[in-house]
């Protein structure tokens, strides 16, 4: 029993020393680029009554900002809160063809002017190595998106087209980010960060990528 108690005390003391050596918190603020899949791609499908050709996903590059606060429990483990926003005045589109026995439809989907905000939380793991400090994190939270969508249908022969339906997609969805990066120390309490993440949001099957860079302020070190 005594050896076990000694090991526990030793571990607790080491963690306390590591926590004292680590900054209490780290604040990151910087520029971010996000490549968002606004329109999921479709796969080829064929049946006795119709054939649908596959189409690539509609992706769009967006620019914005990324900020986070990490509260350090020790030198290698912390809890991070990440907030980011991405915007673009451009649009992306995909086109698929639906072949029916009597006609062929060409459907063009358009997504434009996205405004996307992420609110994420989760654990972050770091490995201090001199001036370089690599880290990895797994974040969960929500995404609020505002995207203008429209659809244009044309036919090989006469068919009814109900104009060009337009709607603005907006709502809060579950989101996830998996990634990491590296901090390079510039001064005692200042570092430069470069990070990248894979993002996805529930119910859409969409895959996104973001890259962020900026300054990190280390508090309490």
DSSP string spanning 93-113? EEEEEEE-SS-EEEEEEEEEE
pLDDT per residue over 127-179, tens digit each? 988 899 999 999 999 999 999 888 888 886 666 554 455 556 667 889 999 99
pLDDT band of residue 12 (cuts 50, 70, 90) is: very low
| Residue 73 burial by Cβ neighbours in a 10 Å radius (0-12, 13-18, 19+) | middle
Please tell me the predicted confidence (pLDDT) of residue 10: 37
**pLDDT tens, residue by residue, 57-104:** 899 999 999 999 999 998 899 999 999 999 999 999 988 888 877 778
The class of domain 2-219 in CATH terms is mainly beta
State the Cα–Cα distance between residues 82 and 217, nearest whole angstrom: 15
Asked whether the whole model's pTM tops 0.85, one would answer no
Contact call for residues 71 and 17 (beta carbons, < 8 A): no
pLDDT digits (tens, 9 = 90+) for 186-213: 988 999 999 999 999 865 567 899 999 9
Q: Any idea what the Cα angle at residue 153 is, between residues 147 and 165, rounded to 5°?
A: 40
3-class SS at 20?
A: helix
* Residue ranges per structural domain of the chain: 2-219
């Amino acid at each position: 029993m005594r050896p076990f108690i000694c090991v526990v005390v030793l571990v607790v003391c080491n963690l306390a020393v590591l926590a004292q050596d680590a900054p209490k918190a780290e604040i990151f603020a910087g520029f971010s680029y996000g490549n968002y899949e606004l329109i999921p791609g479709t796969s080829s499908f064929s049946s006795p009554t119709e054939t649908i050709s596959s189409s690539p996903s509609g992706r769009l590059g967006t620019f914005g900002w990324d900020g986070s606060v990490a509260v350090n429990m020790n030198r290698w483990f912390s809890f991070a809160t990440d907030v980011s926003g991405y915007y673009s005045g451009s649009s992306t589109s995909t086109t698929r063809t639906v072949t029916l026995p009597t006609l062929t439809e060409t459907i063009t989907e358009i997504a434009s002017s996205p405004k996307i905000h992420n609110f994420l939380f989760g654990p972050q793991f770091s490995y201090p190595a001199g001036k370089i400090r690599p880290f990895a994190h797994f974040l969960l939270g929500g995404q609020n998106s505002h995207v203008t969508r429209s659809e244009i249908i044309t036919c090989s022969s006469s068919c009814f087209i109900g104009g060009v339906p337009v709607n603005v997609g907006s709502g809060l969805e579950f989101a996830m980010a998996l990634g990491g990066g590296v901090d390079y120390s510039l001064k005692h309490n200042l570092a430069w960060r470069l990070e990248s993440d894979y993002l996805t949001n529930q119910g859409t099957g969409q895959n996104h990528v973001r890259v962020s860079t900026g300054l990190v302020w280390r508090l309490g070190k």
